[in-house]
Chains A and B, each alone.
Chain A
Amino acid sequence: MTCPEIRKLLDLSFGMSGPDPALEEHLNRCAECRGYWLRLTRLADEMPDDTQYSFDDAAIESMIDNVEEVIESRRVTEKSSGRSFRDYSYRNLMRLMPSAAALVLVVGVGVGGYFWGRSVPQVIEPSGYSAIVDPFVMDRELYDEPDEPTYDVLVSRFAGERPYDASETLLGDITEEEFNYLSESFHVGDIL
């Protein structure tokens, strides 16, 4: 290690009883670094110790009394409120409350939205298109692609356009001979 690197490490030992033992070998053979360390040691010795910053006894007593008073007043509050400032199960629970509320809100919105979507009235029109009634605009709009008309839809449309029994009318118009020919040659569904 070079001298500047050694001095960086000596800085870190400032205030300690001695330098890092690994540096002692270098200090024994390098007068400059040894002088550097001695100056640091002298400075550390000059530093006022902890007691120089202590408050006098009266001030200390007053502070102690204040701490006791605050803790005691909190204990009284604990007793009257039924909860403890030191009860960490309660405090941790309180800390989790915002997250829990947010989770409930998200799940609530999700589930509510799903069921609301399912409860919107859906009307199948005779045309075969399904229409959804929008409860907010109170208007009918088509949202879906047209469905393929089913057999039932076709029959109901056919019947709706003709206010008479189509099959009877058709059969009534032909002779027995024609009817026999038709029933032998074609399937009933084909005729319709």
Chain B
Amino acid sequence: MATAGNDGIEQLAKKAGQGDRTAFSQIVRQMMSKVSALTYRMTGDREAAKDLAQDSFVSAWENLPNFRGESGFTGWLYKIAANKCLNYLSRASTKQNVSFEESNTDSLTSDRSAGNPEKTLVTKTLREDILEFMQTLPGMQRAVFELRFYQGMSFGEISRQLNKAEGTVKTHYRQAVIKLRKTAMAKGWIS
């Protein structure tokens, strides 16, 4: 599930690291959709997801001089976004004001199933179910599941990016998959 055009992004990141604002603007344009999808899945809150995605890019711009390019720019950017979400979740858990938005998904696209109302409904329900499921996972499990399943990162890379032992990362992922399997059985996604 590697991002298409990663090589282009890496080149742009190199230029942006040298202070090229135009290159960074291109990165923002190419990656905003993916990063905001990540923050949305992790938080389940549309407005928070937008803010966190924007913050992630601003942090990336400020920290680019320190980016050594060892792990790839996209992985690094996802790490920034995931960490922003984890911080948000830990702050929110103390305030206890985060709730999953079940119906407020108007600005989300559903173009893949456009033209087929039945499939649109199923897709929308599944999308919301998955969002709901993600909110049941503890923060670190959520981050690991997101980076592994949706961003296709290897366990080694996730371990480096989140600064956790690889074994711990694998345990988090497996626990998330077990929960997902149980949820899928309960909701009837699979028999």
Q: Which residues in A have some Cβ–Cβ distance to B below 8 Å?
A: 8, 11-12, 14-15, 39-40, 42-44, 46-56, 58-60, 63-64, 66-68, 70-71, 74, 85-88
Name the CB-closest residue of B to A66.
Answer: B54
Taken together as a complex, chains A and B put the C-alpha atoms of A64 and B57 apart, in Å, by 9
Q: B71-103 toward A: CB 8 Å interface, digit per residue (1/0)?
A: 000000000000000000000000000000000
Chain A's nearest CB lies how many Å from the CB of B145? 9
List of B residues within 8 angstroms of A14 by Cβ? 149, 173, 177, 180
Q: Are B37 and A46 in contact (CB under 8 A)?
A: no
Interface residues of B in 31-45 (CB under 8 A from A): 32-34, 36-37, 40-41
List of B residues within 8 angstroms of A60 by Cβ? 32-33, 36
Taken together as a complex, chains A and B put the C-alpha atoms of A59 and B19 apart, in Å, by 27
Q: B100-138 toward A: CB 8 Å interface, digit per residue (1/0)?
A: 000000011111100000000001001100110000000
Q: B174-191 toward A: CB 8 Å interface, digit per residue (1/0)?
A: 100110110010000110
Taken together as a complex, chains A and B put the C-alpha atoms of A49 and B151 apart, in Å, by 10
Cβ-based interface call for B69 (8 A): no
Q: Are A8 and B174 in contact (CB under 8 A)?
A: yes
Q: Are B54 and A67 in contact (CB under 8 A)?
A: yes
Q: Are A46 and B126 in contact (CB under 8 A)?
A: yes
Q: Are A48 and B127 in contact (CB under 8 A)?
A: yes
Q: Are A71 and B174 in contact (CB under 8 A)?
A: no
Name the CB-closest residue of A to B128.
Answer: A48
A to B CB contacts below 8 Å, 27 in the list: A11-B177, A11-B178, A12-B173, A39-B190, A42-B190, A48-B123, A48-B127, A48-B130, A49-B112, A50-B34, A52-B108, A54-B33, A54-B34, A55-B37, A55-B46, A55-B50, A60-B36, A63-B36, A64-B25, A64-B29, A64-B32, A66-B54, A67-B28, A70-B58, A71-B61, A85-B62, A86-B65
